[in-house]
Amino acid sequence: MSATSPAPAAIPAITPTKAPTKGPGALAAATLSVRARLQRAGFTLEVDAALPLAGVTALFGRSGCGKTSLLRVIAGLDRVAGADVRFGDEVWQRGRHFVPLHRRRIGLVFQEHSLLPHLGVRDNLLYGYRRTPPAERRLHLQEVVDMLGIGELLERSIDKLSGGQRQRVSLGRALLTSPRLLLLDEPLSALDTQTKREIMPFLSRLAAEAGVPIVMVSHAPEEVERLADRVVFMRDGRIDCIETLRQALARSDSPLFADEGAVSVLEGLPGAVGPHGLRAFGPEGARLWLSAGGAAVGEGQAGEAFATQPPAAETAASPPRRLQRLRILARDVSLALDDPTRISIQNHLRVTIERIEAHTPGRVLVTCRLADDQLLLAEVTPWSVTQLGLAPGQQVYALIKSVALLG
Amino acid sequence: MLGLGPQDWQAIEVTFKLCLYTTLILLVIATPLAWWLAAGRSNVRTAVQALVALPLVLPPTVLGFYLLVALGPRGVVGSTLEDIGLSHLAFSFEGILVASVLYSMPFAVQPLHEAFSQLGRRPIEVASALGANAVDRFLTVVLPLTRGGFVVAFTLTFAHTLGEFGVILMLGGSIPGETKVLSVLIYDHTEALNYDAAHRLSLGLLVFSFLTLFVVYAINRRFRVARVG
């Protein structure tokens, strides 16, 4: 991977000049409620939902399921007759009452090309900032520029930017309005895999530290697993269910598993780099070892795509003390009755089997509980279950072939 | 000067006054109209679009005839104006100004309509999200991004008004200093077999019109390239 891709730790923390409204404050209890019915040719959107205004909420579903339509109703981009939209105790739309988008103070990031082509990077960034009342400004140009690593781009014209740079500028521009809500409409889907990996750390840093609730449209399970705190599952214009990410990952029929199979997401704090050059992750008893660059472990080669050269700041034994996520595919997890010692797989965890259930044809999904109570899924064959005599309550060893640090 | 007589200069003055006023009036009318046309699709919009484009296909005499009927002393507009103490508009500068505005309207509306359609909704949505109200959005986003469309629209309007003949002859006649524009004067010179005078004015108009169109197309080309980038 190229050395230009910033690793998570290279991003300075955002330090809003006023305390962020996250946490037990007013907004945490507030909700964004939307009730709308929208009929289009061959498509009906019918939703009635209340979303907590905290953390990251993902609207997840296949293309055409109504995610973007719902986002546009929330933003007020489409004024759908009869819709009811409330933001905390503020009514954005009800009956004839309608607060236009420019007075809602929402940060909006679109899928692609949304920079104003007649303005340079600096003027794009400042377009919203200049229109934000000074008293409402919590973030300023320098912080946002540092956080997104776009200092060198400031004086450029926007047609000299790569796709990833454009999206970072778009994000920065939205942040500089000090929004009360960030709406992201598939902000990564127009980017290639490499560029996605370049932007993801910024998004997760943003989600963790900007103190702004985020509603994000996505059809990519990996983005949801990496960023979301809760997931709104949508299908055919309706909301199937709203779950926390943990709930969504705890059921074997989760729509998040449709592409790559079952996945576990472990949260933990990255620790120090050990003598063997690997970085610890998670607490004692549920500790994993990642390659120090920040991303991979396993049989030496596994997950190499993530093996970035860590910037100086990160190698200095003080990794960011912020919960990070690991994404582990269930098919990369094997189970053993004993702790194997002579094996190339580095990560062995003692786990307790919670549940064994049929998954896909010929595969069984074993839900295991780690020492720190997080869940880890393993995909094995029915034959292995019989042969090893696996049963709920049993203590076994989970061998993890590769994991990806999600930042 | 240039071998032009006082009659010629008078016609040039009337012509340029007519072109300038027509262009300014259409700036005010065509911009919102083109914006509305570009904002959606409906039968009403299509009908208005067709109506605006009518002068492109109608013989100028048809438009001139109906305007004469409507704006004259016994016409709907003309008699109303008389009733409120004003004069009717046939054979007057104001009359041919009204005619010019209608006759040149497609040349103002169509390039703007095109420019606004090409712009799409995204830049406006972006500006709204960033806190810009409608006027702010128009001035800081729409106008700079459709500048080329505006230049084309108003140069074409000016140039097209310059070339009006039939409508003016029908409605305005040929009153020196009032409705006698260059095209009409050239016709008069020719009828009087004054070919030298007709030639001087014709050549002047030809060169001026060519330069105008050259500028328009040059701007248009740059505008297209800029949009792709």
Residue A149 has pLDDT above 70, yes or no: yes
Query: Does B3 contact A at CB distance below 8 Å?
Result: no
* pLDDT, tens digit (0-9, with 9 covering 90-100), for A222-258: 889 888 999 999 998 999 999 999 888 888 888 888 8
Tell me B59's DSSP state.
Answer: -
Tell me A308's DSSP state.
Answer: P
State how far residue A404 is from chain B, nearest Cα, in angstroms.
Answer: 34
Helix or strand holding residue A393 (H, E): none
Coil, strand or helix at A303: coil
Query: Does B229 contact A at CB distance below 8 Å?
Result: yes
Contact A289, A274 (CB under 8 A): yes
DSSP letter string, A169-227: HHHHHHHTT--SEEEEESTTTTS-HHHHHHHHHHHHHHHHHS---EEEEE--HHHHHHH
The residue of chain A with its CA nearest to that of B124 is A116
The CA distance from A68 to A218, in Å, is 9
The residue of chain B with its CA nearest to that of A133 is B131
State how far residue A73 is from chain B, nearest Cα, in angstroms.
Answer: 13
- Range with the lowest mean pLDDT among A186-200, A304-318, B198-212? A304-318
Strands A347-358 and A364-369: antiparallel
The CA distance from B122 to B130, in Å, is 12
State how far residue B11 is from chain A, nearest Cα, in angstroms.
Answer: 42
Coil, strand or helix at A15: coil
Q: Give residue A343's identity as a one-letter amino acid code.
A: I
Residue A17 has pLDDT above 80, yes or no: no
The CA distance from A249 to A377, in Å, is 9
ipTM for this prediction: 0.76
* C-alpha torsion A197→A198→A201→A202, nearest 10: -140
The residue of chain B with its CA nearest to that of A111 is B122
Contact A68, B95 (CB under 8 A): no
- Partner residue facing B131 (CB), from A114, A118, A132: A132
Strands A90-94 and A84-87: antiparallel
Contacting residues of A for B132, CB less than 8 Å apart:
102, 127, 131
Q: What is the pLDDT of residue A316?
A: 36
The residue of chain A with its CA nearest to that of B122 is A114
B129 and A132 in contact by Cβ < 8 A?
Answer: no
Give Dmax (Cα) for chain B: 66
Interacting residues of B86 by C-beta distance below 8 A, sequence separation 6+ = none
What is chain B's pLDDT, residue by residue, as a tens digit (229 residues)?
Answer: 567 888 899 999 999 999 999 999 999 999 999 999 998 889 999 999 999 999 999 998 999 999 999 988 888 888 888 888 888 888 889 999 999 999 999 999 999 999 999 998 899 999 999 999 999 999 999 999 998 899 889 888 999 999 888 888 888 888 888 888 999 999 999 999 999 999 999 999 999 999 988 888 887 777 654 443 2
Contact B21, B186 (CB under 8 A): no
B127 and A113 in contact by Cβ < 8 A?
Answer: no
B131 and A174 in contact by Cβ < 8 A?
Answer: no
The CA distance from B106 to B26, in Å, is 10
Contact A69, A45 (CB under 8 A): yes
Interacting residues of A32 by C-beta distance below 8 A, sequence separation 6+ = A50, A51, A52, A53, A74, A85, A86, A87, A88, A181, A213, A215
Query: Does B128 contact A at CB distance below 8 Å?
Result: yes
Tell me A384's DSSP state.
Answer: H
The CA distance from B197 to A158, in Å, is 55
The CA distance from A201 to A195, in Å, is 11
Give Dmax (Cα) for chain A: 71
Q: Which of B185, B178, B184 has its CA nearest to residue B87?
A: B178
Query: Does B124 contact A at CB distance below 8 Å?
Result: no
Contacting residues of B for A132, CB less than 8 Å apart:
131
Coil, strand or helix at B56: helix
Contacting residues of A for B123, CB less than 8 Å apart:
114, 116-117
User: Sign of the C-alpha dihedral, residues A304, A308, A309, A314?
Assistant: negative
Q: Which of A276, A282, A283 has its CA nearest to residue A291?
A: A276
The CA distance from A209 to A347, in Å, is 30
